[in-house]
Amino acid sequence: MSQLKQERLLKVLLAPQISEKATYIADKNEQVVFRVVSDATKPEVKAAVESLFNVKVKSVQTTNVKGKVKRFGKITGQRKGWKKAFVCLQPGQEINFAAGE
């Protein structure tokens, strides 16, 4: 795990997932939701969040989100799927996205 390259870590996290659901979860479980690259592993996400935001991570849950099927007339299309990572922070830790901007 410690062998994970810094280069890779910088690529793992794509964006914070900001939505009503994500805020609800954050309030309830001290979790932060990220969009991550589809082949990211939980240890990678954990390491990435710890190194980028300088916080302690308790655990990571991930799920693959299927892309929606969209139709344009007769033609059906498939949006890309993505991986969502629920990062559970250790008590007292916080990530402030706005401050980093």
Partner 1 sequence: MQTNQETTNALERRIDITVAKEAVEQEVQARLKHLGRTVKMPGFRPGKVPLKMIEQSYGGQARSEAVGTALEKAFAQKVQEEKLRVAGQPRLEPKAEAEDGALAFTAVFEVYPEITLGEVSDKAIERPSLTVSDVEIDKTIDVLRKQRTNYETVERAATADDRVVIDFTGRKDGEVFEGGQASDFPFVIGAGSMLKDFEDAVDGLKAGESKTFSMTFPEDYHAANLAGQTVEFEITVKEVGAAKLPEIDAEFAKSLGVADGDVTKMRDEVKANLEREVSRRIKTRIKEQAMDALLAANPIDVPKALVTREAEQLAENARRDMESRGMQTKDLPVSADWFTEQAERRVKLGLVLAELVAAKDLYAKPEQVRALIEDFAQSYEDPKEVIEWYYSQPQRMAQAEALVIEENAVDWVLNNAKTEDKVVDFDELMGATA
Minimum Å gap between C-beta 20 and partner 1 is 5
CA distance 32 to 24: 10
| 10 versus 18: smaller Cβ distance to partner 1 | 18
Nearest residue to 34 (alpha-carbon basis) of 25, 78, 92, 100: 25
On the 0-12 / 13-18 / 19+ scale of CB atoms within 10 A, 40 is buried
Q: Taking CB under 8 A as the rule, does residue 90 contact partner 1?
A: no
| 23 versus 90: smaller Cβ distance to partner 1 | 23
| 3 versus 96: smaller Cβ distance to partner 1 | 96
Q: Taking CB under 8 A as the rule, does residue 18 contact partner 1?
A: yes
Size of the site for partner 1 (CB under 8 A): 7
3 state SS of 36: strand
Indicate which single residue of 3, 5, 7, 20 sits in contact with partner 1 (rule: CB under 8 A). Answer: 20
CA distance 11 to 5: 10
* Segment interacting with partner 1, rule: CB under 8 A, options 5-13, 15-23, 58-66, 72-80: 15-23
Residue carrying structure tokens 């964006």:
15
